[in-house]
Structure 1
Amino acid sequence: MLPPCYHTGVTSTKKQTQVRLEEDVLSAGKAAAAARRLDFNKYVERLIIEDTTGARAAGMTAAQRLIEEHGTFLDNLEQQLDAPYTEPQPGAAA
C-alpha cells in the first residue's frame, strides 16, 4: 500500500529529525505554539526560518524603533487604560 502522500499526488520534501529538550523547555515551546495556534512542528520550523533569514532580527529592530519613537505615548496610553482598574471605585472597600 502506498503512503497517503502518494494517493493525493502530493509529495513532501520535508525531512524528519529528532531533538532532545529539557522537559520545561519542551513544555514552554508547546505552550508558545498553542498560544499562536500552531502545532509544535510548525512553531519550531517558523523559529528556524525567522532566525536564519533575518526576519526575527528585522522584527526586533522595528519593534525597538517603535518603542524609541512612541514609547512615551504608549506608556501614557497604558496608564490611561489601566486607570479605571487602579483607582478606588465608589462604594468599594478600601
Structure 2
Amino acid sequence: MSSDKKQTQLRLAPDVLAAGKGAAAARGLDFNKYVERLISEDTTGARSAGMAAAQRLIDTQSAFLDDLEADLDAQHTPAAQNRDAAA
C-alpha cells in the first residue's frame, strides 16, 4: 500500500497536544487529520473566509445575539432555577 503523504514530526507542549487531541476528538477526527485540516484551511484561505462570514453574522445580527445571550443567561440564574424547581 503506497501513499503520497509524507510524514513529519511536531514538538508540542503537553497542554497544547492535549488541547489538540481534545479538539480533534470533538470533531470526530484523528489528530493527524485534524492537523492536516488546520493547515489546509489556513493556507487555502478557507479559515479566513469562515472567520469573515462569522464576523459578518455578528455585525448584522448583534442585537439578536445579545438578546439570545441575555435570555440564556436569565435561564441559568439561581432565581430562574429555583422558580423552575418550585413549578
The reply to whether TM is greater than 0.5 is yes
Q: Which runs of structure 1 show a deviation greater than 6 angstroms over 4 or more consecutive aligned residues?
A: none
- For the aligned residue pairs, the C-alpha RMSD in angstroms reads 1.8
SS at match of 1:61: helix
When normalised by structure 1's length, the TM-score is: 0.78
When normalised by structure 2's length, the TM-score is: 0.84
1:42 alignment counterpart:
33
Q: How far off is 1:51 after superposition?
A: 0.5
1:90 alignment counterpart:
83
Q: Which runs of 5+ in 2 are unaligned?
A: none
The structure whose residues are more often helix, as a share, is: 2
Corresponding pairs, count: 83
1:8 alignment counterpart:
none
Structure 2 vs 1, CA of residues 15 and 54 (structure 1 numbering), >3 Å: closer, same or farther? same
Instruction: Give the % identical residues.
Output: 67
